[in-house]
Chains A and B, each alone.
Chain A
């Protein structure tokens, strides 16, 4: 009787395993994509890509560009993936400098007259969406706890450092996330380095947490673990529109922004497919999907701005020196560890 069971189990297992094992089917018409965007947008964009080009996509979505950057570095002797998509250009530029990316200038980008600000002059990365940092408020808790005390809603970065918000502020860690770092560098550009650190120290006294991943900040705000926060506006608008999260978005003056990039990994298995992918992302359809479901701004002028978002050109940005921000990344992060220590 027991023998019989063992035989049944073994046969069932073989039936499960055998079809999947063996050399990966030698599919020529396939690209492998590392995506730092959430599952939803990624899979919708890829469905359209496959429908239009006939090229299959195998994607790994991890909502943390640093992880994917690390993978691409680790795999540099034998690259597995063709495309690195999503995440601010801050993650693509170091890879390009290390010689891990393949240059390409998409004719579609030129055709669509995408602003040269969003394209790498050397062609290592193409910007295809934009995002702005913002103040985010959990309105449920605000109405219950702050409104009765007649606290004014924060409208500038400096407001976030006020004593009313002690233990109620959350933002992504500048040590482990791109958004957190762009914010800190932005404060240096806004205030100069010395005053920036005074401000950051006051801010950190309010912080309940510096979340190690970027989505973690939205999670905490959405659950009401904090009342105010600093995060990409599109993440909060998305949570509000798609899940009914009680979040309000205020984009303060002197904010920072990201240029969400896509790049081709040098030595990947299918460079022709990768070029087709870049061309596709520069067209209207994927940027529209990303605006509709990810609430990120398109770089093309002919795609509608996401619902509930202020038009990008009406936002007031801090003068952001990209080169300085990249050069000083290690130093600022070390100083953060030393002086804030969280």
Chain B
């Protein structure tokens, strides 16, 4: 093995630029991915770590985080499964509509579901107070449970639907022909083959729930959770060490789940060897299952509709819960803060450019037979295991004392490298689709490694680059978990302004500014669709 690697190295020695690029990319990943994580972990001392079990509040936060992880993951996966099932079977009514609706929460800022549900189901809620006459308390674990279920089931749906789609209909027909009834087919073929997908979905949702900052900070109320506790440590107490300890505690389960997903579940996908893909229709779905799935999907779709409706209606209502007359006043107040939207665009675009370039570059390098390319691959997907608040605290500790500290570059870099796995994996997937022969032809004609990248791959990868840019951009302009730690004077982004408005009870303007932010993301999605002909998805940790 070692011999082969040194052989590779010697072969590439004639191509110094490739090695230089490799070293550069490795250095960038080391500085912007590994170093901040390392700083967080070594900032507290051993005694600090050993004192964790004695802190009542932290143990409580840890317990609460784990409980939320379990209950939200179960419900989100269940609804995701229902949606996935409904949208992959031809005889389901309204399947296209359901799928479109279910994608909507993926593009919303991570606090939007919580914000909308306070408007809908809180003490002043349109549904609870005005329609039902109840005085309901939405703050706490139960509100968060509802919010996280709706916010994260689309992730589960995407993953499970991918697996269900791959189940060959001829297997189901074969089972039917062998005498199995509709129920048995669903149970022993469709769902059985989807098991790894369901497990994978649960792990991804669990990571998102654990790391969820935006919803928790708004709706969890006095219910301590690890993700928000880190921020309260800094906000209320100026306690950087406490913040570092809490995010380090949070890293243990997220990293564990991430490794589990990557090295266990994702390698256990059942591949059914049948030769060519099949286009025949699936056998009919049992009627009971069909209607149960439609009922669940309808209810969940309604809840998603309320998210968008609540925020937009809030932007036009004079005083929510007390005076329902329409007004444009909130838009004037929001227009005052429109400069923050431009700062968001600027930082999002910077982050997108970095994610796109670094993602494509690293994907190119890991597709070469270079030594240590697995290390590079690992570093490029590692940020997927890090909660946003962890990255935020890490960048504060790592870069505040340097020359980029306190500038918009720190924030842009944090957002860019946190979203790197998405750009990198999109680019990697494209690389695998490109016929190696094209490259070999170029090499035979005398092209060097970087020339191959420029003249062969770059034109073919342009769509991947655009897509990586778009995903990173959309997630950067809607991010709060990193933003709250790295915001700088003169570069205040829109999500930060909105979060402050929600916390200070300025709902109307918060709704108006959120609506503007939504328009911005949908314009970005539209432009990307026009450029690459695909709707970008933005799955990942919240």
Binding site for B on A (CB under 8 A): 2, 5-6, 9, 13, 16-17, 20-21, 24, 32-34, 38-39, 58-64, 66-67, 69-70, 73-75, 77-78, 80-81, 91, 173, 175-177, 207-213, 215-216, 218-220, 222-225, 239, 243-245, 337-338, 341-342
Please encode chain B, from 89 to 128, with 1 for each CB lying within 8 Å of some chain A CB and 0 for all others. 0000000000000000000000000000010001110000
Contact between chains at A32 and B232 (CB < 8 Å): no
State whether A212 and B238 are in contact (beta carbons under 8 Å apart), knowing that A5-B527, A80-B405, A225-B122 are contacts in the complex.
no
Sample (22) of A-B pairs whose CB atoms are under 8 Å apart: A2-B530, A2-B532, A17-B346, A20-B343, A20-B408, A21-B350, A59-B489, A73-B240, A74-B397, A78-B402, A80-B406, A80-B488, A175-B236, A176-B233, A208-B137, A218-B505, A219-B505, A220-B139, A223-B321, A224-B123, A225-B123, A337-B55
Contact between chains at A209 and B346 (CB < 8 Å): no
Query: How far is the CB of B100 from the nearest CB of chain A, in Å?
Result: 23
Contact between chains at B503 and A215 (CB < 8 Å): yes
Q: How far is the CA of A178 from the CA of B488 in the complex (A)?
A: 23
A21 cross-chain contacts in B, Cβ below 8 A: 346, 350
Contact between chains at B345 and A2 (CB < 8 Å): no
Contact between chains at B492 and A60 (CB < 8 Å): yes
Q: How far is the CA of A24 from the CA of B122 in the complex (A)?
A: 44
Contact between chains at A212 and B56 (CB < 8 Å): no
Choose among B233, B236, B487, B528 the residue that contacts A60 (Cβ–Cβ < 8 A). Answer: B487
Contact between chains at A176 and B349 (CB < 8 Å): no
Contact between chains at B232 and A176 (CB < 8 Å): yes
Q: How far is the CA of A5 from the CA of B463 in the complex (A)?
A: 11
Contact between chains at B462 and A6 (CB < 8 Å): yes
Choose among B221, B466, B505 the residue that contacts A222 (Cβ–Cβ < 8 A). Answer: B505
Whether B500 is near chain A, meaning CB under 8 Å from some CB there, is yes
Query: How far is the CB of B236 from the nearest CB of chain A, in Å?
Result: 2
Q: How far is the CA of A337 from the CA of B229 in the complex (A)?
A: 14
Q: How far is the CA of A215 from the CA of B118 in the complex (A)?
A: 17
Task: With CB as the reference atom, state the residue of chain A lying closest to B527.
Answer: A9
Q: How far is the CA of A153 from the CA of B349 in the complex (A)?
A: 55
Q: How far is the CA of A33 from the CA of B492 in the complex (A)?
A: 13
Q: How far is the CA of A166 from the CA of B475 in the complex (A)?
A: 42
Query: How far is the CB of A5 from the nearest CB of chain B, in Å?
Result: 4
Please encode chain B, from 124 to 143, with 1 for each CB lying within 8 Å of some chain A CB and 0 for all others. 10000000000101010000
Q: How far is the CA of A33 from the CA of B504 in the complex (A)?
A: 21
Q: How far is the CA of A113 from the CA of B407 in the complex (A)?
A: 40
Contact between chains at B221 and A209 (CB < 8 Å): yes
Count how many chain B residues have C-beta atoms less than 8 Å from C-beta atoms of the other chain: 61
The 6 closest A-B pairs by CB, nearest first: A176-B236, A70-B238, A69-B238, A209-B222, A58-B490, A80-B406
Query: How far is the CB of A323 from the nearest CB of chain B, in Å?
Result: 20
Contact between chains at B235 and A213 (CB < 8 Å): yes
State whether A66 and B488 are in contact (beta carbons under 8 Å apart), knowing that A6-B466, A16-B345, A208-B137 are contacts in the complex.
no
State whether A20 and B405 are in contact (beta carbons under 8 Å apart), knowing that A212-B232, A215-B504 are contacts in the complex.
no
B137 cross-chain contacts in A, Cβ below 8 A: 208, 225
Contact between chains at A216 and B503 (CB < 8 Å): yes
- B283-330 residues with Cβ-Cβ distance < 8 A to A are 319, 321-322
A70 cross-chain contacts in B, Cβ below 8 A: 234-235, 237-240, 243
A209 cross-chain contacts in B, Cβ below 8 A: 139, 221-222
Contact between chains at A75 and B406 (CB < 8 Å): yes
Whether B205 is near chain A, meaning CB under 8 Å from some CB there, is no
Contact between chains at B57 and A341 (CB < 8 Å): yes
Task: With CB as the reference atom, state the residue of chain B lying closest to A20.
Answer: B346
Contact between chains at A24 and B236 (CB < 8 Å): no
A225 cross-chain contacts in B, Cβ below 8 A: 122-123, 137, 139
State whether A212 and B530 are in contact (beta carbons under 8 Å apart), knowing that A58-B489, A75-B406, A223-B123 are contacts in the complex.
no
Contact between chains at A9 and B531 (CB < 8 Å): yes
Query: How far is the CB of B482 from the nearest CB of chain A, in Å?
Result: 15
Contact between chains at A219 and B237 (CB < 8 Å): no
Query: How far is the CB of A6 from the nearest CB of chain B, in Å?
Result: 5
Query: How far is the CB of A165 from the nearest CB of chain B, in Å?
Result: 15
Task: With CB as the reference atom, state the residue of chain A lying closest to B502.
Answer: A219
A338 cross-chain contacts in B, Cβ below 8 A: 56
Task: With CB as the reference atom, state the residue of chain A lying closest to B530.
Answer: A5
Choose among A9, A59, A223 the residue that contacts B122 (Cβ–Cβ < 8 A). Answer: A223
Q: How far is the CA of A216 from the CA of B217 in the complex (A)?
A: 11
Q: How far is the CA of A16 from the CA of B189 in the complex (A)?
A: 52
State whether A78 and B234 are in contact (beta carbons under 8 Å apart), knowing that A20-B346, A219-B503, A225-B122 are contacts in the complex.
no
Query: How far is the CB of B203 from the nearest CB of chain A, in Å?
Result: 29
Q: How far is the CA of A210 from the CA of B137 in the complex (A)?
A: 15
- B19-51 residues with Cβ-Cβ distance < 8 A to A are none
Query: How far is the CB of B522 from the nearest CB of chain A, in Å?
Result: 15
Whether B60 is near chain A, meaning CB under 8 Å from some CB there, is yes
Contact between chains at A38 and B504 (CB < 8 Å): yes
Task: With CB as the reference atom, state the residue of chain B lying closest to A239.
Answer: B505
A177 cross-chain contacts in B, Cβ below 8 A: 236
Contact between chains at B505 and A5 (CB < 8 Å): no
Q: How far is the CA of A146 from the CA of B293 in the complex (A)?
A: 46
Contact between chains at A213 and B503 (CB < 8 Å): yes
Q: How far is the CA of A81 from the CA of B530 in the complex (A)?
A: 43
Whether B446 is near chain A, meaning CB under 8 Å from some CB there, is no
State whether A24 and B407 are in contact (beta carbons under 8 Å apart), knowing that A17-B350, A60-B488 are contacts in the complex.
yes
Task: With CB as the reference atom, state the residue of chain B lying closest to A7.
Answer: B531
Q: How far is the CA of A215 from the CA of B501 in the complex (A)?
A: 10
Task: With CB as the reference atom, state the residue of chain A lying closest to B337.
Answer: A39
State whether A341 and B349 are in contact (beta carbons under 8 Å apart), knowing that A32-B490, A73-B240 are contacts in the complex.
no
Contact between chains at B237 and A63 (CB < 8 Å): no
Most buried by B among A59, A74, A208, A215: A74
Please encode chain B, from 518 to 542, with 1 for each CB lying within 8 Å of some chain A CB and 0 for all others. 0000000001101111000000000
Q: How far is the CA of A241 from the CA of B487 in the complex (A)?
A: 31
Q: How far is the CA of A337 from the CA of B51 in the complex (A)?
A: 14
B466 cross-chain contacts in A, Cβ below 8 A: 6, 9
Contact between chains at A60 and B238 (CB < 8 Å): no
Whether B396 is near chain A, meaning CB under 8 Å from some CB there, is yes
Contact between chains at A66 and B531 (CB < 8 Å): no
B56 cross-chain contacts in A, Cβ below 8 A: 337-338, 341
State whether A66 and B236 are in contact (beta carbons under 8 Å apart), knowing that A13-B349, A58-B489, A81-B489 are contacts in the complex.
yes
Whether B275 is near chain A, meaning CB under 8 Å from some CB there, is no
Task: With CB as the reference atom, state the residue of chain A lying closest to B243.
Answer: A70
Choose among A73, A208, A216 the residue that contacts B238 (Cβ–Cβ < 8 A). Answer: A73
A91 cross-chain contacts in B, Cβ below 8 A: 238
Q: How far is the CA of A66 from the CA of B346 in the complex (A)?
A: 28
Query: How far is the CB of B128 from the nearest CB of chain A, in Å?
Result: 12
Q: How far is the CA of A160 from the CA of B2 in the complex (A)?
A: 74
Choose among B118, B139, B505 the residue that contacts A243 (Cβ–Cβ < 8 A). Answer: B505
B367 cross-chain contacts in A, Cβ below 8 A: none
Query: How far is the CB of B322 from the nearest CB of chain A, in Å?
Result: 8
* Other A-B pairs beyond A70-B240, A80-B489, 19, CB < 8 Å: A2-B531, A6-B462, A6-B466, A6-B531, A13-B349, A17-B353, A58-B489, A60-B490, A63-B500, A75-B401, A75-B406, A78-B401, A78-B406, A212-B235, A219-B503, A222-B505, A225-B123, A225-B139, A243-B319
Query: How far is the CB of A44 from the nearest CB of chain B, in Å?
Result: 12
Whether B400 is near chain A, meaning CB under 8 Å from some CB there, is yes
